[in-house]
């Protein structure tokens, strides 16, 4: 399993990207791999389309211009970060150029074995939480000199939460009476007040189950560094509420460490995204949106409870 978020594979051809296009790009730019089978991966993301190339490679293509800068960022920085990290990250084999009617840079990567980190595939969630924390701390220790400062390329992960203040307040207004918006607003204010003053460090930007690969119940790889950069690592702690709970959350918190301000900002990141997703799904009657709404309600409940417990 190799790609970026827990989304079922889209139909071949979304954003104009097809297996035929991938084959033509490979033949034109990397003829040494021409003729290898090109097959969509079973689980794909929104920002990129990923195809398996032969037995041990993948091709990753951005779906829109806004996601294209990640290609060169990953191509430059992942090889530099990889030797210092305790688990595998995508090995970059080649970077392709626009062509064959496709407008963006793209990349060829080595295939990473493993399955996405669903709790059913993890025997000891607390041990897994500690292992993930150790990866994040190792990432933060990597030399950040010259690294890409948090901003538009990272969708402002690693930057100030104030970028999403207006959007969050709109979501709070839209959800008035549907969740505890008074307490949620308090959590958001606390997150904004907890100004980050630390030195810039590397962050991943999208630490989620779909970007974590496991084998034998252990973390074996972290993928999709498209929103990575250098800045405030609090955004990488959202998984404390989206995946962990109870003992595993406490194990993660203890292993990560950090001051109360970092965790206040982390709650802000989790709350922003959960409110945004809930507001988009709460009035829908589709099964998928009902599931999404229930999951975001769960995350919000955990975030608000955590705030009360640490206030």
State how far the Cα of 297 lies from the Cα of 295, in Å rounded to an integer. Answer: 5
**Residues 64-120 pLDDT 10s:** 999 999 999 999 999 999 999 999 999 999 999 999 999 999 999 999 989 999 999
How is residue 244 annotated by DSSP? -
What residues does CATH 3.30.200.20 cover in the chain?
7-112
The list of the chain residues with pLDDT below 70 reads 1-15
Predicted local distance difference test score (pLDDT) of residue 9: 35
State how far the Cα of 222 lies from the Cα of 90, in Å rounded to an integer. Answer: 8
Predicted local distance difference test score (pLDDT) of residue 16: 84
Dihedral angle sign, alpha carbons of residues 238, 134, 244, 111 = positive
Query: Are the CB atoms for 97 and 105 separated by under 8 Å?
Result: yes
Specify the CATH class of 116-310 in words: alpha beta
Predicted local distance difference test score (pLDDT) of residue 15: 62
State how far the Cα of 200 lies from the Cα of 107, in Å rounded to an integer. Answer: 27
Predicted local distance difference test score (pLDDT) of residue 19: 95
Q: Is the pTM for the entire model greater than 0.85?
A: yes
Query: Are the CB atoms for 128 and 217 separated by under 8 Å?
Result: yes
Predicted local distance difference test score (pLDDT) of residue 311: 78
- CATH number of this structure's domain 7-112: 3.30.200.20
How is residue 13 annotated by DSSP? T
Predicted local distance difference test score (pLDDT) of residue 14: 58
């Amino acid at each position: 399993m190799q790609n970026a978020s827990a989304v079922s594979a889209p139909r071949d051809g979304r954003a104009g990207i097809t297996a035929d296009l991938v084959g033509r790009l490979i033949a034109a730019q990397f003829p040494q791999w021409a003729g290898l089978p090109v097959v969509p991966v079973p689980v794909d993301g929104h920002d990129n389309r990923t195809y398996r190339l032969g037995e041990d490679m993948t091709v990753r293509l951005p779906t829109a211009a806004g996601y294209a800068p990640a290609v060169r960022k990953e191509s430059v920085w992942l090889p530099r970060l990889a030797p210092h990290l305790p688990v595998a990250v995508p090995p970059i084999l080649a970077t392709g150029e626009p062509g064959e009617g496709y407008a963006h840079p793209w990349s060829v990567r080595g295939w990473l074995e493993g399955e996405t980190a669903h709790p059913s595939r993890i025997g000891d969630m607390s041990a897994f939480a500690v292992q993930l924390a150790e990866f994040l701390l190792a990432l933060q220790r990597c030399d950040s000199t010259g690294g890409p400062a948090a901003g538009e390329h990272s969708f402002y992960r690693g930057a100030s939460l104030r970028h999403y203040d207006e959007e969050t307040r709109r979501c709070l207004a839209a959800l008035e009476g549907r969740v505890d918006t008074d307490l949620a607003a308090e959590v958001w204010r606390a997150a904004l007040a907890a100004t980050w003053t630390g030195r810039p460090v590397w962050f991943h930007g999208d630490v989620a189950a779909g970007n974590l690969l496991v084998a034998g119940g252990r973390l074996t790889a972290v993928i999709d560094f498209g929103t990575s950069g250098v800045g405030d690592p609090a955004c990488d702690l959202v998984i404390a509420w989206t995946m962990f709970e109870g003992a595993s959350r406490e194990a993660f918190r203890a292993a990560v460490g950090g001051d109360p301000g970092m965790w206040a900002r982390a709650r802000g990141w989790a709350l922003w995204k959960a409110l945004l997703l809930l507001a988009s799904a709460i009035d829908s009657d589709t099964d998928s949106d009902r599931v999404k709404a229930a999951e975001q309600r769960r995350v919000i409940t955990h975030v608000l409870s955590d705030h009360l417990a640490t206030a």
